[in-house]
Structure 1
Amino acid sequence: MKTPPIVSPQEWEAARQELLVEEKELTRARDALAAKRRRMPWQAVEKEYEFDGPAGRVSLLDLFEGRRQLIVYRAFFEPGVTGWPDHACVGCSMVADHVGHLAHLNARDTTLVFASRAPQADIARVKARMRWTIPWYTITDDFDTDFGVDEWHGTNAFVRDGDSVFRTYFVNARGDEALGSTWSYLDMTALGRQETWEESPEGYPQTEPYAWWHWHDTYDDAEPARK
């Protein structure tokens, strides 16, 4: 392996500062892209979709769990997929391993769920084995075909206005590999991180950064962080 040159601490810091300029540009570009996502048109979800869950049959609206936003990752766990019946697909399993504590997403009025075609009994068994706590539902109809995830994994974002549901964004392929943290999920949603520094359309919910952050086991005791 041909390694880079070995330099003094001063030269190393100079090289880091030079690269930091580009890194800051990337951060600003990422923020600008997220701002454009918040201005994406919404696609009305006209069909009624149903899923099997731990407590029985539920609708797409039910998956929101009363929150305003919903993120659905289509994980491949079903007959014919590598790993069945002991594991979900390797890549989808890595995505599950990277998901942060859901309490932080929930505090921003956002629910994250996974969906597969495996029966609930198999999902429960693999979740227990892998120590995953993500809500995980069984697709029973054309949801995967209609939202671009019938032959490949992908993540769809939705928002609701009362009982009306709208698709707001979709990412797949290498776009999924950046997901997992609270921030990466919020950045793909229609409302974003909902913090005052963000460049969002007028009237979007926003609070001061840091003010809404809590330990994940204390959100129930915290004051509501929404405006």
Structure 2
Amino acid sequence: MRVLIVEDEQDLQNILVKRLNVEHYSVDACGNGEDALDYINIATYDLIVLDIMIPGIDGLQVLQRLRADNHTTPVLLLTAKDSIDDRVTGLDLGADDYLVKPFAFDELLARIRVLMRRNTGNTSNVFEIADLVVDCNMHKVTRGGQVITLSSKEFAILEYMIRNKDVVLTRDKIEQHVWNYDYEGGSNIIDVYVRYLRKKIDSQFETKLIHTIRGTGYVLRVES
């Protein structure tokens, strides 16, 4: 499941990203409205956690633009202002839920689970390429009907690749998406994990799906 965190308080943003990664969510994060709109236009998210008080385009304006563009992704608003007006405005603009700061992470997690369950029928989180099937809801991978067991990092990399199949992903992009603020090393860690994935995904099958783009990164695709 892929989540976008839009939060300008860097410490809180870092904590949310780290904790959600532990819960096996794939997380992107940014700190202002302009970047949030860019992320949303480029990628597909299962949920957006959106702070109202962010620099530039504020959270309510971001939400208004999303709904005007017919984006139906569930939005959970965060606000430091315990104001009825803010809550009513956000809900009227199309927010699915809200949470007032400070909050317990367990409460945020519970609200995320509720919104994810509510939206399961509206958003497909099963991705296929050739005979590889990745079910992001069930955290399950099969190839040729055979169940493949992956670690959380392996699954996060594969999910990112299959959501962007046929797109060349640089090592830096993969590292930033999967590790966020937890990892500050070089790109060798990506090569190591892709090697693990190849052993599990490709080694027993004639059709190879994970391909190296020399000097750039990797792509998940079927090559003739």
Quick check: which one's helix share is greater? 2
Q: Which has the higher contact order (CA 8 A, sep 6+)?
A: 1
- Select the structure of larger CA radius of gyration: 1
Instruction: Specify if TM > 0.5.
Output: no
TM-score with structure 2 length normalisation? 0.25
TM-score with structure 1 length normalisation? 0.24
